[in-house]
């Protein structure tokens, strides 16, 4: 592969990875977690989806604290959503398109050995970045609610 992807394309991949990490930090560092059964220190070593599942498990016990419950539930949904998006990109491999562009390609092989590919092109990356930015805004708004 002698052709390299554009700097803009690579920047989008980097931005996606960074924004997901930023979302994790906003959530883990929030004071609301200190008032729940979730041990934020243990979350640091977990992957994004596992953090989301840990938060999701804590939601029912917070029914008497609606603002904290909203923050934790929103955070869980956000992390579970963006983990899949980020993983699709970061677990893809370089390939050459029919138009000779180098892009990432995420292959999924089914049980019958049938393969399905998802091209991680600019349009795909833009869609993933928009979703991550959306969830980051939702979590930031949930952070603005007063502690109850």
Using CA atoms, how far residue 53 sits from 16, 62, 134, in Å, is 21, 15, 20
Does the pLDDT of residue 68 top 80, yes or no?
yes
Cross-strand partners of 125: none
Answer whether 0.85 is exceeded by the pTM. Answer: yes
The Cα–Cα gap between 83 and 17 comes to: 10
How do residues 17-54 score in pLDDT, each as one tens digit?
999 999 999 999 998 888 888 988 899 999 999 999 99
Mean pLDDT of 58-86: 96
Percent of the chain at pLDDT above 90?
Answer: 78
Q: What is the DSSP string of 79-97?
A: HHHHHHHHHHHHT-EEEE-
* CA–CA distance, 5 with 112 (Å, rounded to integer): 33
Alpha-carbon distance 132 to 19, whole Å? 7
Burial 111-140 (b: 16+ CB within 10 A, else e): eeeeeeeeebeeebbeebbebbeebbebbe
| pLDDT at residue 8 greater than cutoff 80 | yes
pLDDT given for residue 2 in this prediction: 64
Q: Which pLDDT band holds residue 71 (cuts at 50, 70, 90)?
A: very high
Q: 17: closest CA among 128, 93, 102, 120?
A: 128
What tens digit of pLDDT does each residue of 81-118 get?
A: 999 999 999 999 999 999 889 999 998 876 777 778 99
- CA–CA separation, 1 vs 32, rounded Å? 48
126-144 pLDDT tens trace: 999 999 999 999 999 999 9
State which H helix or E strand residue 61 sits in: none
* Sign (positive or negative) of CA dihedral 30, 31, 37, 40: positive
User: How many residues are there in the chain?
Assistant: 148
């Amino acid at each position: 592969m002698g052709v390299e992807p554009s700097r803009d394309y690579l920047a989008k991949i980097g931005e996606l990875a960074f924004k997901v990490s930023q979302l994790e930090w906003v959530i883990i560092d929030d004071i609301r977690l200190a008032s729940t059964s979730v041990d934020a220190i243990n979350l640091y070593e977990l992957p994004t989806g596992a953090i989301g599942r840990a938060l999701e498990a804590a939601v029912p016990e917070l029914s008497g604290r609606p603002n904290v419950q909203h923050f934790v539930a929103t955070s869980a949904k956000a992390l579970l959503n963006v983990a899949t998006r980020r993983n699709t990109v970061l677990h893809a491999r370089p390939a050459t398109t029919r138009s000779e562009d180098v892009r990432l390609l995420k292959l999924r092989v089914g049980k019958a050995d049938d393969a399905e590919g998802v091209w991680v092109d600019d349009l795909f990356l833009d869609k993933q970045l928009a979703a991550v930015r959306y969830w980051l805004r939702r979590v930031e708004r949930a952070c603005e609610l007063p502690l109850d």
